Structure 1
Amino acid sequence: MTSAPEWNLSQKVGAAGVVAGFGTWAGGTFRSLRVRNYRLFATGQIVSNTGTWMQRIAQDWLVLSLTNSSTAVGITTALQFLPMLLFGLWGGVLADRYPKRRTLIFTQSVMGLLAASLAVLTLTGTVRVWYVYLIALLLGFATVVDNPTRQSFVTEMVGEKDLRNAVSLNSAIFQSARLIGPAVAGVLINAVGAGWAFGLNALSFGGVLTGLVLMRPHELFPAPRIARAKGQLREGLRYIAGRKELIWPIVLVGFVGTFGYNWAIVLSAFAKNVFHHGAGTYGLFNTLMALGSLAGALLAARRTTTRLRLLVFAAIGFGALEIVAALAPWFAVFAPLLLVIGLVGMTFNNAANTTVQLAAAPEMRGRVMGVYMLVFTGGTPIGGPLIGWITETYGPRVGLVVGGAVAALAAAAVGGILYRTRRATPPAPVPDAVEAPAAPRA
């Protein structure tokens, strides 16, 4: 039998081991939060992204209520992402040309004003579907500059050494907000209408703006800014085309983003037309996907290497799971599958994002992320209306099957090309770049 002193000592050692183990886990998973500027950014993003998810749910439901048309929901989504398709490449050039923190203050302010406008129109009962179309289009123009700037700004806050971790935490923050936003939106829509969800989203932009204003510029690691000159867009495209660690993730992201990520269309149709439920169920579906995505993001935060093979398998798995979910006969089967789809989809997203950012030179990162966001969201004006039309004409199950099948087959084709050319993986995992000791600060 263990004596009292020995028992006390073993308790202390065991407790110390638990604390040390937790500290190591937290230090590995959340290490980017040690940076003050990034903590401010992350806090603002939690608030703002929660409001953004509330608006997404409320906007989709508002359009569906005004028109009773899945095609109209697809058109709204398409208009929001059409500017990215047309001008996304130029957004990357602007991200490389101007100070990123000041640019984000401007774009986030514009987005907040647009949300406030939609709230006023809805609360006063004057909203029409073409008003929603117009605001979605204007929001898309702000996103053209905001997306590549925000993506590449992460490096300036934490340095390249912690970039992989910060990108994963950004995804975890986004998905955490996705857990709260849809649930709150569902309650608000049922209780007082969609207008209040738009109004709360407008207020939520104050969180990210406050974080940006309170940052310490001298603690940033700014990338070299490019001077205005001709041929900068072509230079960025040539740079991407010559590097397999950039071009193949971007190709995969294009197919999966265009055809596989039309959840705003198919989930609202599943809630209303397949299971005959209301906005609360639509919010639940988004929450379940967010839970899976959050788990995938936290797992990715501890990953130290990324291979192209992982991207291919994750994309194939994501598409296959969509097909399985589409064929699920009962609500009790469909809903849990959304958890797994969210996890696999986030694994693909994080792996692609970090691979591309780490492989890009600092002075090229804005343009590279401009192309990345172009293919990721710019394909929505093509895939959104198409999947919306298929969903409305042949049913939500067919729409989801088509989206998943295209994503899986495209990933399999890319994987086959990589295998045949002996490029299934890079020569070595893309390493975490080491921060230069004499990196210039703002």
Structure 2
Amino acid sequence: MAETNTQDNPTRLGGMFRALKYRNYRLFFMGQGISLIGTWMQQIAMSWLVYRLTDSVFLLGMVSFANQIPSFLLGPFAGVISDRFNRHRVLLVTQFLFLLEASTLAALGLTDSITITYILCLGVFAGVVNAFDMSARQSFVVQLVEKREDMSNAIALNSSMFNMARLVGPSVAGGIIATVGEGMCFLINALSYFAVLASLLLMRLPHMERKVQDTQVLKSLAEGFQYAFGFQPIRDILILIATLSLFGMPFTVLMPAFARDVLGGDASTLGLLMGASGVGALAGALYLASRKTVVGLARVIVVASVLFGIGLMGFALSQTLVLSMVAIFVVGLGMILRMASSNTLLQTIVDEDKRGRVMSFYSMAFMGMAPIGSLLAGWVAEQIGVGYTLLGCGFICVLSIIPFLMGLPKARELVRPIYQRLGILPEIATGLHTASHLSSPPEGGKM
């Protein structure tokens, strides 16, 4: 585990920022924060460029499919790599490869040589890299905080950083696209990777002994699959994330079409919508960072799922920019509460020697199902329109919480021994509210 170096941080950081007292986590937080702003700028520029070149919502979905399907296909293998090799070194390699991809995009964009074929090919390349990056990064974060009780705060702060970048990146990108074009956004993203590479190189990580794994890759995959899907709490969370990605996340792919065709706007309108979604997500992430325990996160997931679905349906029916921004704010809030709470629960209950493989399944559910949903949503939107497509997606997302709710009592019973072993339940037992209709029985544990 990463060392605690309080001398590096004379200010006593508590409450929602307590994970920042760890030097390595602070470096990670700052480097990733800068890089993610560039990533969001590139994503907005890419979406706008594709729609400008093709006028096709189907091709918007196809580009997203090309970028994300490798996470679905390679996710399990990436998990094995994450469990077998040094995650810090894996991240150094993946971030350098992202730098090469963004630099190539910038060169093509700034010389007006970019085509949809280049975009698809580079999207596949980035998707392959991202499959290995996500598994290693999700597992690496927990190495940067020494105390287990600060892990949930670190994950929540990660979500805050991600959504702060989503707030800043699209807003800046909208103005840059309108004045100098998409290529400059690609260049800024390429330069931003130097920040995350520097942060990784500056970390002081203690040597970690890894279990010697003599098993073959396929056997390791089977072991990880059996562990993840044989334990109901993990399985239920993974299914919930997959459902959200399949039916909920396509709203981001259809956003350029909604901004231009429904609201009659331009790239700046798209930036405002993405910014409003980012504000909602940031609010949700800060709320999670302020929580002192993982207990009760299952209830947060349920409420967040309802908020997300209702917000998406409201967004689909909106015809004005103001109402659209309010609705997409609720969507962003519900999305991050559901995603980050699920991530935190997984990271809390998973065994360390299987963390990489479980988080690769999380990446498959999150990033892997999204391209299928994007492709499907793009095709449906071509047939019935963007509004009706988003309305249906929102309705399905509300319904998706029902199986999770039905399995919650048993899942809490299975998680309780883990919480007791980690010392979580005794610390907060006096603060539990058992009167809620979502509460577990007196003898059960709460997720």
> Where in structure 2 are there 5+ consecutive unaligned residues?
1-10, 425-447
Name the counterpart of 2:368.
378
Q: Does 1:339 pair with 2:329?
A: yes
Q: Does 1:81 pair with 2:81?
A: no
Which one of 410, 419, 441 corresponds to residue 400 of structure 2?
A: 410
Name the counterpart of 1:151.
138
User: How far apart are the structure 1 equivalents of 2:220 and 2:28?
Assistant: 29
User: How far apart are the structure 2 equivalents of 1:331 and 1:181?
Assistant: 19
User: How far apart are the structure 1 equivalents of 2:209 and 2:247?
Assistant: 35
User: How far apart are the structure 1 equivalents of 2:159 and 2:135?
Assistant: 15
Structure 1 residues 31, 223: CA separation in 2 closer, same or farther (over 3 Å shift)? farther
Name the counterpart of 1:176.
164
Q: Does 1:49 pair with 2:36?
A: yes
Which one of 80, 85, 97 corresponds to residue 98 of structure 1?
A: 85
User: How far apart are the structure 2 equivalents of 1:351 and 1:431?
Assistant: 16
Q: What does the per-residue CA deviation read over 1:28-77, in whole Å, with 9 as the maximum and x for residues that have no partner?
A: 21111100011111000111000000000000011101101111111000
Name the counterpart of 1:395.
385
Which one of 102, 115, 127 corresponds to residue 140 of structure 1?
A: 127
Farther off after superposition, 221-230 or 164-173:
221-230
Matched-pair contact (CA < 8 Å) for 2:83–2:354: yes
Amino acid at match of 2:124: L
How far 1:415 moved relative to its partner?
2.3
User: How far apart are the structure 2 equivalents of 1:96 and 1:144?
Assistant: 14
Farther off after superposition, 203-212 or 300-309:
300-309
Which one of 304, 321, 326 corresponds to residue 311 of structure 2?
A: 321
Name the counterpart of 1:268.
256
Amino acid at match of 1:369: M
User: How far apart are the structure 2 equivalents of 1:379 and 1:33?
Assistant: 32
Q: What does the per-residue CA deviation read over 1:172-207, in whole Å, with 9 as the maximum and x for residues that have no partner?
A: 001111111101111110000000000010000000
Name the counterpart of 1:113.
100
Matched-pair contact (CA < 8 Å) for 1:225–1:363: no
Name the counterpart of 2:180.
192
How far 1:241 moved relative to its partner?
1.9
Which one of 292, 310, 313 corresponds to residue 280 of structure 2?
A: 292
RMSD: 2.0
Matched-pair contact (CA < 8 Å) for 2:60–2:254: no
User: How far apart are the structure 2 equivalents of 1:415 and 1:346?
Assistant: 19
Greater C-alpha radius of gyration: 1
Structure 1 residues 275, 103: CA separation in 2 closer, same or farther (over 3 Å shift)? same
User: How far apart are the structure 2 equivalents of 1:227 and 1:238?
Assistant: 18
Name the counterpart of 1:72.
59
How far 1:428 moved relative to its partner?
5.9
Which one of 49, 61, 75 corresponds to residue 62 of structure 1?
A: 49
Amino acid at match of 1:114: E
How far 1:144 moved relative to its partner?
0.9
Matched-pair contact (CA < 8 Å) for 1:97–1:228: no
Paired positions, count: 408
Matched-pair contact (CA < 8 Å) for 1:308–1:425: no
> Where in structure 1 are there 5+ consecutive unaligned residues?
1-22, 436-442
How far 1:305 moved relative to its partner?
2.1
Name the counterpart of 1:32.
19
Amino acid at match of 1:257: S
User: How far apart are the structure 1 equivalents of 2:137 and 2:198?
Assistant: 15
How far 1:116 moved relative to its partner?
0.5
Structure 1 residues 427, 203: CA separation in 2 closer, same or farther (over 3 Å shift)? same
User: How far apart are the structure 1 equivalents of 2:411 and 2:315?
Assistant: 29
User: How far apart are the structure 2 equivalents of 1:134 and 1:227?
Assistant: 36
How far 1:228 moved relative to its partner?
5.5
Structure 1 residues 212, 434: CA separation in 2 closer, same or farther (over 3 Å shift)? farther
Matched-pair contact (CA < 8 Å) for 2:29–2:158: yes
User: How far apart are the structure 2 equivalents of 1:182 and 1:246?
Assistant: 33
Farther off after superposition, 177-186 or 301-310:
301-310
Amino acid at match of 1:247: R
Amino acid at match of 2:294: T
User: How far apart are the structure 1 equivalents of 2:340 and 2:238?
Assistant: 12
User: How far apart are the structure 2 equivalents of 1:86 and 1:414?
Assistant: 25
How far 1:405 moved relative to its partner?
1.8
Q: What does the per-residue CA deviation read over 1:13-40, in whole Å, with 9 as the maximum and x for residues that have no partner?
A: xxxxxxxxxx99x502111110001111
User: How far apart are the structure 1 equivalents of 2:410 and 2:377?
Assistant: 32
Name the counterpart of 1:131.
118
Amino acid at match of 1:339: F
Matched-pair contact (CA < 8 Å) for 2:263–2:319: no
Matched-pair contact (CA < 8 Å) for 1:311–1:351: yes
How far 1:434 moved relative to its partner?
6.5
Which one of 284, 294, 302 corresponds to residue 305 of structure 1?
A: 294
Matched-pair contact (CA < 8 Å) for 1:28–1:302: yes
TM-score, scaled relative to structure 2: 0.87
TM-score, scaled relative to structure 1: 0.88
Q: Does 1:350 pair with 2:337?
A: no
Query: Matched residues, percent identical?
Result: 35
Structure 1 residues 428, 247: CA separation in 2 closer, same or farther (over 3 Å shift)? closer
How far 1:350 moved relative to its partner?
1.2
3-state DSSP class of the match of 2:410? Answer: coil
3-state DSSP class of the match of 1:91? Answer: helix
Matched-pair contact (CA < 8 Å) for 2:260–2:266: yes
Matched-pair contact (CA < 8 Å) for 2:262–2:319: no
Q: What does the per-residue CA deviation read over 1:256-311, in whole Å, with 9 as the maximum and x for residues that have no partner?
A: 01110123322211100001100001011010111111110011012212443432
Q: What does the per-residue CA deviation read over 1:372-412, in whole Å, with 9 as the maximum and x for residues that have no partner?
A: 11011101221001111222322221121122122222222
Name the counterpart of 2:233.
245
Amino acid at match of 1:142: V
Farther off after superposition, 119-128 or 426-435:
426-435
Q: What does the per-residue CA deviation read over 1:315-338, in whole Å, with 9 as the maximum and x for residues that have no partner?
A: 233112211221124322121122
